[in-house]
Structure 1
């Protein structure tokens, strides 16, 4: 993430607002979270009522995302994994990009196109599990469970390499980059024998950034 001090952030597929609250605590002036699941938005709003940070939550589909404002950062976290086909994937990315100001940054957490499904058995050690399901055409369907409070579980797809970069460039974004895998708290990575080594070697996600010219 860039420095969020005084910035306006849109959290797409916000769920119960886990990242929205992090963004606000990192100094964002305005944070708006949006999610298709009204039950998750209800939880986020309840947490906001109990622990007010000034975050606004809305119910909405990333595939039909309107322009909700002019944001410095748009963060689709696990949003694009829900796209039903490549057309919807591109539509989600385009609609997220439309909410960025010129010079704004998109930070997208997507499924790892290079995932080794046989090595996912280590994930419960890190608080999550991923179960492969039947394929949908040529795409691998997965079920993700996260050991967080409130509980998070959802189905999604592993998309092939190049999908995210192509969609971002088609949406008019520049400086599209996939960031290197790093362990929490390790600016330069980590030892091959560290606790997070197995996770970093085969993470379920890939992190991309891009800029709106």
Structure 2
């Protein structure tokens, strides 16, 4: 997730992007995940898991698998097979080192270039990866084609409130957070930001674009979530109070229509 002090400009970006193989970025990100100091473990992962269908006997595709956490979780929940891919060789190497399961296949490949057999999967999941992708509609179409009728697509992205104008919190003279500014919302496209390293490219899209692209490609929208920590989590993690003031992420659940009998 973004730091409170991100800076941005509108900028072009190469595609696919592979910032995770930058040594400084990778070490910073790995430390964040290992220590669970980010929002993934506290907010995104629990919210995503609550929205998953029954995984028993399912074939699963994980786009942007990182360290393979979801792939291993899916198998623990009874998934029959998991194909997990990531553009980062560092991530794939780490995921393979952490996994001892022949039913999980890790592929070093970008989301943009991923090819799968048609109607091969019951579930496709992508965790905080699609805001790095320039051509979101093309990815949605490929996911639709790769799902079996009745299959489910569950993904999270940084919330459009975050990506629109990611300058971070406006603070008073004492450093207290006053507000998170929203600007340039309808100006969709690339944003150059800083998180561990300078020059990371994320793509801002409106809520309308995220949802209507799914509908235009034939999906049925099942759920839209803007996760917020419950009171007991806030009590244990007061640093998460910021997530109540502005939504850090968006989760969408869509299904491919089942064949009519």
TM-score, normalised relative to structure 2: 0.60
Ranked by relative contact order (alpha carbons within 8 Å, sequence separation 6 or more), the top structure is: 2
Corresponding residue number in structure 1 for 2:87: 36
Change (3 A) 1:53 1:102: same
Give the SS at the match of 1:44.
helix
* Structure with bigger gyration radius: 2
Q: Please tell me whether the aligned partners of residues 189 and 204 of structure 2 are also in contact (alpha carbons under 8 angstroms).
A: no
Change (3 A) 1:114 1:137: closer
Whole-angstrom distance in 2 between the partners of 1:181 and 1:17: 22
Corresponding residue number in structure 1 for 2:67: 16
Corresponding residue number in structure 2 for 1:107: 154
Instruction: Report matched runs for 1:150-165 at 5 Å.
Output: 155-165=201-211
| Cα displacement string for residues 140-181 of structure 1 (whole angstroms, at most 9, x for unaligned residues) | 333456xxxxxxxx6533432222112211221112531241
TM-score, normalised relative to structure 1: 0.72
| Cα displacement string for residues 114-151 of structure 1 (whole angstroms, at most 9, x for unaligned residues) | 23843499xxxxxxxxxxxxxx9854333456xxxxxx
Structure having the larger proportion of residues in helix: 2
Tell me by how many angstroms 1:34 deviates: 0.9
Give the SS at the match of 1:62.
coil
Corresponding residue number in structure 2 for 1:199: 243
Whole-angstrom distance in 2 between the partners of 1:27 and 1:76: 19
Segments of 5+ residues of structure 1 without an aligned counterpart are 122-135, 146-153, 184-188
Q: Please tell me whether the aligned partners of residues 85 and 106 of structure 2 are also in contact (alpha carbons under 8 angstroms).
A: yes
| Cα displacement string for residues 64-89 of structure 1 (whole angstroms, at most 9, x for unaligned residues) | 221246111100222211122xxx11
Change (3 A) 1:57 1:143: farther
Whole-angstrom distance in 1 between the partners of 2:93 and 2:129: 18
Q: Confirm or deny that 1:3 pairs with 2:47.
A: no
Q: Please tell me whether the aligned partners of residues 188 and 205 of structure 2 are also in contact (alpha carbons under 8 angstroms).
A: no
Segments of 5+ residues of structure 2 without an aligned counterpart are 1-51, 172-186
